[in-house]
Amino acid sequence: MNNNALCWIDGSIMPAVEASVSVFDHGLLYGDGVFEGLRFYNRRTFMLQAHLERLQQSADAIGLELPYSLGQLADAIEKLIAAYPQDAGYLRLVATRGPGSLGIDPRSCLRPLVFIIADALRVMNVSDISQGVSLHIAKTRRMPAECLNPEIKSLNYLNNILARIEANRTGADEALMLNLDGFVSEGSVDNIFITSEGVLRTPPLGDGLLAGITREVVIEAAGAAGIACEEVSLRPADLFAADECFLTGTGAELIPVRQIDEHCFSLPHRPLIPAIMRGFQDRIASECRAG
């Protein structure tokens, strides 16, 4: 959070430090709610419709009726960006169950709460991300879909937070989570890709990861650059044998990985990441041209 952060909350825009929610809000008490993270460049939101549709899907999955239409939320985002003092930044769109009685029963919550924060975002405490980040393979396993569908982008991130705590304790920048079968799932807040012998590879959605919007943009950018992409289950050993590794996400954008636990990627150059990065940046430029 910084002094420029703004918040749109149920129709009003104010400094984020002045915004507040009830202590009885079930989003606060029980993590009962959903959210989306969005980026904007040149005061235009990147992949807005895809994010709004995913918010709707997450809300539907938990039986949360959004109090605003997606069109109204898009209008609120536009007004918030116009009021924000910088041309680029990060948005956090949150819909909670709203205030209700103590106890998890959602029927006591009469009206959901929606707020949107505009701020800067630094997903990792790294001074120069272009040099690559370090990952730690966490002992905390990714929650299986049979327990909690990873397609629901909910407010409850405890599973991911526990993995990140492990990474923090080892001095790594980010955690890498495996599923119960020992296959690579995702980072604590990002999807993962590797390149091997000219082919881009990433875990399939069935291995317990979020269908990242940036993940999909990267797959499309690779295809446009003539780079084959496979969605295939990966073991940690597959990552260690890879030529390159990188993370993707709305907050992360595209971040190269230099090390996973004790394994370091030793190639003096990255053969495919620059081409994929160019395609990703071209997509941003085409969608978010300065007005």
All structural domains of the chain, each given as residue ranges with its CATH number in brackets, are: 6-119 (3.30.470.10), 129-287 (3.20.10.10)
Length of the chain: 291
d(CA 207, CA 205): 5
Tell me the one-letter amino acid at 274: P
**pLDDT 10s digits, 58-76:** 999 999 999 999 999 999 9
**pLDDT 10s digits, 186-232:** 999 999 999 999 999 999 999 999 999 999 999 999 999 999 999 99
Are residues 175 and 116 in contact, defined by beta-carbon separation less than 8 angstroms?
no
3-state secondary structure 141-201: CCCCCCCCCCCCCECCCHHHHHHHHHHHHHCCCEEEEECCCCCEEEECCCEEEEEECCEEE
DSSP 242-283: -SEEEEEETTTEEEEEEEETTEE---SS-SSHHHHHHHHHHH
Mean of per-residue pLDDT scores for the chain: 94
Strand, helix or coil for residue 14: strand
What pTM did the predictor assign?
0.94
φ/ψ of residue 231, rounded to 5: -100, 105
